[in-house]
């Protein structure tokens, strides 16, 4: 298990105090920290959550498009730990989440442990139990600011995921050609092909395993993995959001 240095420990303690007791977070605790520091702090926050009795749902992969990586100047894949999952058709209070947004993303169920720094993406599909239509629900958290280390430490703004219907990966001959169509209240809002917006998901999962390996972590059987957003929308009461993924399934989320 990786140990934190003094600066990382101060930042982790400050973030944990904010989460647990609402203590104001001193942004200066993150000013000198970088991408790797953010990962280490998030891994520590995850450890504390699990020790407190929380149950992890799975992982998300960040920076899964060329434009996202160019924007921050890093060719790497940060992780986020998922702690809350809903089933398709869920109804949620829009006011429950500050600045709530919704993002269609593929959702994978791990069937067999995936670990190590040199995972061959070609072997990933055989270790996936199911690929499903999914949503990531995000929260605008004031503590993030414009600091990359803080964004990563704060779990990449994840609030929850929603999992819809799906299929076995061997039923999707070319996953990069999947078409995703996003609707709000029956009106089409967005349409794309997977390869137009994000990396091949099996490459992303292999890269995720490599990042997790730095902290003696792995993708475990039963965990969910989301592999990058195609688009993002703010949500409001009275909205019904549906995303359809060709050859895979659909996912639905309602806001009250």
Determine the pLDDT at residue 144: 56
Q: Is residue 113 part of a domain?
A: yes
Read off the pLDDT of each residue in 175-186 and give the average, rounded to a whole number.
98
Instruction: Tell me the pLDDT tens digit for each residue of 89-113.
Output: 999 999 989 889 999 999 999 999 9
Residue among 80, 82, 59, 62 nearest 71 (CA): 62
pLDDT band at 148 (very low <50, low <70, confident <90, very high): confident
Determine the pLDDT at residue 182: 98
Query: Cα–Cα distance between 88 and 133 in angstroms, integer?
Result: 9
Find the length of the chain: 256
Q: Is residue 112 part of a domain?
A: yes
Residue numbers of the domain that contains 188: 57-255
Instruction: Tell me the pLDDT tens digit for each residue of 39-60.
Output: 999 999 999 999 999 999 999 9
Query: Cα–Cα distance between 249 and 59 in angstroms, integer?
Result: 21
Q: Is residue 116 part of a domain?
A: yes
Sign of CA dihedral 211, 216, 218, 222: negative
pLDDT at 1 over 60: no
Q: Is residue 28 part of a domain?
A: no
Q: Is residue 114 part of a domain?
A: yes
Determine the pLDDT at residue 31: 82
pLDDT band at 24 (very low <50, low <70, confident <90, very high): confident
Q: Is residue 99 part of a domain?
A: yes
pLDDT band at 251 (very low <50, low <70, confident <90, very high): very high
Q: Is residue 42 part of a domain?
A: no
Residue among 149, 156, 159, 160 nearest 14 (CA): 149
Neighbours of 138 (CB within 10 A): 21
Q: Is residue 66 part of a domain?
A: yes
Query: Cα–Cα distance between 199 and 177 in angstroms, integer?
Result: 12
Q: What is the CATH number of the domain that holds 210?
A: 3.90.850.10
Instruction: Tell me the pLDDT tens digit for each residue of 113-129.
Output: 999 999 999 999 999 99
Instruction: Tell me the pLDDT tens digit for each residue of 196-219.
Output: 999 999 999 999 999 999 999 999
Determine the pLDDT at residue 87: 98
Query: Cα–Cα distance between 245 and 165 in angstroms, integer?
Result: 10
Sign of CA dihedral 139, 159, 197, 254: negative
Is residue 68 a contact partner of residue 101, using CB atoms and an 8 Å limit?
no
Query: Cα–Cα distance between 227 and 206 in angstroms, integer?
Result: 11
Q: Which H helix or E strand runs over 72?
A: helix 66-72
What mean pLDDT value characterizes the chain?
A: 94
Q: Domain count for the chain, please give it.
A: 1
């Amino acid at each position: 298990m990786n140990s934190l240095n003094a600066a990382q420990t101060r930042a982790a303690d400050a973030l944990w105090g904010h989460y647990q007791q609402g203590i104001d977070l001193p942004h200066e605790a993150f000013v000198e920290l970088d991408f790797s520091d953010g990962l280490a702090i998030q891994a520590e926050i995850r450890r504390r959550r699990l020790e407190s009795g929380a149950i992890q749902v799975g992982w998300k992969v960040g920076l899964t498009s060329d434009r996202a990586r160019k924007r921050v100047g890093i060719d790497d894949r940060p992780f986020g730990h998922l702690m809350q999952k809903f089933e398709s058709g869920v109804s949620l209070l829009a006011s429950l989440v500050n600045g709530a947004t919704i993002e269609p993303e593929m959702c994978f169920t791990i069937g067999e442990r995936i670990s190590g720094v040199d995972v061959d993406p070609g072997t990933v599909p055989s270790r996936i139990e199911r690929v499903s239509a999914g949503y990531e629900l995000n929260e605008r958290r004031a503590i993030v600011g414009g600091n990359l280390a803080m964004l990563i430490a704060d779990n990449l703004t994840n609030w929850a995921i929603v999992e819809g219907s799906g299929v076995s990966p061997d039923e999707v001959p070319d996953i990069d050609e999947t078409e995703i169509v996003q609707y709000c209240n029956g009106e089409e809002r967005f349409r794309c092909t997977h390869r137009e917006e994000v990396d091949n998901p099996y490459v992303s999962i292999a890269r995720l395993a490599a990042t997790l390996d730095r902290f003696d972590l792995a993708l475990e059987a039963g965990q969910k993995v989301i592999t990058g957003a195609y688009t993002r929308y703010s949500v409001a009461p009275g909205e019904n959001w549906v995303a359809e993924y060709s050859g895979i399934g659909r996912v639905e989320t309602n806001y009250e």
